[in-house]
Chains A and B, each alone.
Chain A
Amino acid sequence: MLNYIIRRVLYAIPILIGVNLLTFLLFFMVNSPDDIARSQLGAKQISPQQITAWKVKRGYDKPLFYNAETKEEGVLASLTDTLFVKESLALFIFDFGFSDAGRNIATDIKQRMWPSLQIALPSFIIGLTTNISLALLIVLFRGSVLDTTTMIIAVMIMSISGLFYIIAGQVLFSKLWHWFPISGFESGIGGIKFVILPVLIGVFGGIGSGVRWYRSLFLEQINQDYVRTARAKGLTELRVLFGHVLPNGMLPILTGVVVVLPSLFMGSLIMESFFGIPGLGSYTIDAINAQDFSIVKSMVFLGAVLYIIGLLLTDISYTLFDPRVKLS
């Protein structure tokens, strides 16, 4: 097991290098080291000497990919003594550097992770349980009027823009009926009133596609031989559904669920900015609007790491829950 995990972690490294290469290229297409120096120094009149001094101090004076000065020390030295390697290594130890406003990005991220999770985790858990229970209910009544009407409603829910749910929810529940505050955030128990509305909207917006997806997963199981055997044994339809279809359907559900778990930390961009939640989602949006590339770059790296952890967790959970899968 440990061997397998180590191998998978090693496999993640080239992917992260690829991600870095991509962001690095994009980053330096807009911001040359000179631009960064100028914006960091801030003053209007900056002498070229000042820029050079700043670049030397921060290591930005090195070439991007290939350092010709260190040629005599060998190819390896000229490839490693570059800006790209330096920047990537910093990211690998989660040293994200400073934002344009001069704040430490790593500290910001650590702070803003929790509000994001406070919204994302309840939405995720409540959403998952609602979707699966609804899907099971529909599968129980498959082929009936209930099935067709729910499916039509599901397509309609799915076809409405997520922005509509947020705006309609804010107008109805906060502006007209004053049930919940329109936006804001507080940590701890007192903050629960701020959390309810975003969670409700998040769950409702996801019901359409979620129910359809889980329904199709369960329907695929229901035509299998083992279900027929279970019925032949004389089990009730409920026992068949909960005792046989649900556990077997759990496997494909697992794939979809585990992979997004780590990404919950990233929060939801739109939800957070509409509800004024100081999480990572709104952090990202603010960074995009302010064209703060250092933050965008850090978030890209963080997102990629979390996604890869998700993939790894999926594989591990498969081996734990599906006896047919062997580690290889």
Chain B
Amino acid sequence: MKMSFLWTDMMIWLLVVALIFWARMIMRSPQTRQQWRRIYESPLAMACSLILLTYLSVALLDSIHFRLALPTQADSKQVNYDINMKSPLDLLFAHNIDHSERTYSAPFARNEFVSSIIVNEQGITEKAYLPLKHVATYLGINEGSGLDIFIKSIIAIIMGLMIGLIFVTLHMLWLKRGTQDSFGHYLQTVKQGKTQLPWRWAYATFLFILVMSVWLYYLNLSYHVLGTDKVGGDVLYNTLKSIRTGVLIGVLTTVATLPISIILGISAGYIGGWVDDVIQYIYTTLSSIPSVLLIAASILVVQVTIDNNPQWFETATERSDLRLFFLIIILSITSWTGLCRLLRAETFKLSQVEFVTAARAFGVGKFTILRRHILPNLMHIILISVVLDFSFLVLSEAVLSYVGVGVDPSMHSWGNMINQARLEMAREPMVWWSLLSAFLFMFVLVLAANLFSDRIQVVLDPRNEA
């Protein structure tokens, strides 16, 4: 086994580490702790952040890449590695990769969706719907499908609940450590919703997510729960792989824009003068270009460069990863202007406010004023715009891939899934499952982010005090 370090992998893990440090740092202040506690007092915010966390963990699970060693020939000493990179997620779904079908099949189907012409035993050619390889491997062809699905679902739900309850119990034990409460009594408090944070909703969401995932995974062992796509790939697997692309584009791009927009926005608003003029010029110029066109032009440049230098890459995954990396950079170049403009206006307003004037009169240094008085008052704008940008970017990934300037066509992404499925719209009856799964997974992610940002806005926006 050989580890492969993709650019985007390193970025996302670096970001996770940085986020943990940042969280530890800001949690030192009691006011911040108080604010975050208030955010999580809403059951909806709790549920949304659990959903977001689930998406993030799938993305992280898919962000460790390695190449397995191929079986070596007896005479050669040299170890060769598989050119297909694997991630832990791929290992979990190995049965789906190995048993890839030939073409479309509907969810839970046992035969292919498209009839093919075969020669039967009598030597007569006829049309038939061939059985699916994957389903046939795990299921006797004649086994009753409806009953089997039902039994397997029950098993999956029980398994999911059991695993989930173990975690929930552990968490409750951890929460009540140090108190004199008995476990039964504490359970009662949680049930009645008397805990400070709405843990019962958190547990409910957690159990729901876990049961759903166990159900999907367990049934996908013997069926294609969400069907297969044109080349016979399992749709559930494709959708899960797409999570990484969506989450990475959303998270990394928003985070990459932050330093640019914060530094430029604050300096324009606080320093003013020619600095303000220059920064305003830069962002007016950038935002006057239609962003799709700027992205298109830059991606064309990147693609041409990549195509001209095949020697840079050992595998196709590395090549598509570099395109994703540049897409993230280009997207952050086009999307920092909005936040920068907001921050500039707000900083300008704040620098005229009495407490800043007072601080200045007391001889407090410029940077201390920025750090202590201005930046904390900009925090809510930054946070809200981060979450909103995130959902906007997840949605625009699909649009960009449709236009042909998104991620590499060979990469798993919701945009590519939609794009492929769209070409089959004219087919009768319709192939709807690919489209619907991509839209559904995208919808849940974006909805969770939007609802969470609403909650942040309610709690952090100072105008909502009354």
Contact = CB atoms under 8 A, between A and B. Distances in A.
Interface of A: 14-15, 18-19, 22-23, 26-27, 29-30, 155-156, 158-164, 167, 170-171, 175, 223, 263, 266, 269-270, 284-285, 288-289, 291, 293, 296-297, 299-300, 303-304, 307-308, 311
B445 to A, nearest CB: 9
A41 B96 CA distance: 50
Contact of B403 (A159, A161, A285): A285
B391 A171 contact: no
A22 to B, nearest CB: 7
Contacts of A161: 395, 398-399, 418, 439, 442-443, 446
A266 B290 contact: yes
B402 A163 contact: yes
Interface in B145-188: none
Interface string B452-466: 001000000000001
Residue among A155, A164, A285, A289 with most chain B CB within 10 A? A164
A162 B402 CA distance: 12
Contact of B301 (A26, A158, A288): A26
14 contacts: A14-B281, A161-B418, A162-B399, A163-B399, A163-B402, A163-B418, A263-B290, A270-B399, A288-B296, A291-B300, A297-B297, A300-B290, A303-B293, A307-B288
Contacts of B454: 155
Contacts of A23: 289, 297
Contacts, number: 114
Contacts of A164: 439, 443
Contacts of A299: 290, 293
Interface in B374-416: 391, 395, 398-399, 402-405
A269 to B, nearest CB: 6
A223 B463 CA distance: 11
Nearest to A281: B292
Contacts of A307: 287-288, 290
B451 A155 contact: yes
A288 B297 CA distance: 8
A22 B289 contact: yes
B120 interface: no
A288 B439 contact: no
Contacts of A293: 297, 300
Given A18-B281, A171-B430, A303-B293, A159 B391 contact: yes
Interface string B265-300: 000000000000000011011011110111011101
B435 interface: yes
B332 interface: no
Given A15-B281, A299-B293, A308-B288, A156 B301 contact: no
B220 interface: no
B69 interface: no
A237 B393 CA distance: 40
Interface of B: 281-282, 284-285, 287-290, 292-294, 296-298, 300-301, 304-305, 391, 395, 398-399, 402-405, 418, 422, 425, 430, 435, 439, 442-443, 446-447, 450-451, 454, 466
A29 B301 CA distance: 7
B288 A19 contact: yes
Given A167-B422, A289-B404, A303-B288, 10 more contacts: A23-B297, A160-B439, A160-B443, A162-B399, A266-B290, A270-B399, A291-B300, A300-B290, A300-B294, A304-B290
A279 to B, nearest CB: 14
Nearest to B457: A216
A275 B399 CA distance: 15
Max chain B Cβ within 10 angstroms of own Cβ: one of A23, A284, A288:
A288
A284 B289 CA distance: 14
B304 A269 contact: no
Q: Which of A155, A158, A159 has the most CB of B within 10 A?
A: A159
Q: Is the interface of A mostly helix, strand, loop or mixed?
A: helix
Contact of B425 (A26, A170, A284, A285): A170
A170 B430 CA distance: 13
A308 B284 CA distance: 9
Contacts of A29: 301, 304-305
Contacts of B294: 22, 300
B39 to A, nearest CB: 17
Contacts of B290: 263, 266, 299-300, 303-304, 307
A161 B396 CA distance: 8
A29 B326 CA distance: 15
Nearest to A170: B425
Contact of A163 (B296, B398, B446): B398
Contacts of B292: 269, 284
A307 B287 CA distance: 9
B296 A296 contact: yes
B447 A156 contact: yes
User: Closest 5 A-B residue pairs measured CB to CB?
Assistant: A18-B285, A303-B290, A159-B447, A159-B446, A304-B288
A155 B395 contact: no
A162 B403 CA distance: 13
Contacts of A311: 284
A46 B454 CA distance: 62
B403 A288 contact: yes
A185 B290 CA distance: 25
Contacts of A22: 285, 289, 294
Nearest to A284: B293
Given A293-B297, A308-B288, A159 B281 contact: no
Contacts of A300: 289-290, 293-294, 297
Contacts of B398: 161, 163
Nearest to B405: A288
Nearest to B419: A163
Nearest to B401: A163
A177 to B, nearest CB: 14
A297 B298 CA distance: 12
Contacts of B435: 167
A155 B450 contact: yes
Contacts of A270: 399, 402-403
A263 B67 CA distance: 49
Contact of B443 (A159, A162, A175): A159
A161 B292 CA distance: 16
- Pick from B289, B391, B443, B447 the residue with the most CB of A within 10 Å: B289
A43 B279 CA distance: 47
Contacts of A26: 297-298, 300-301
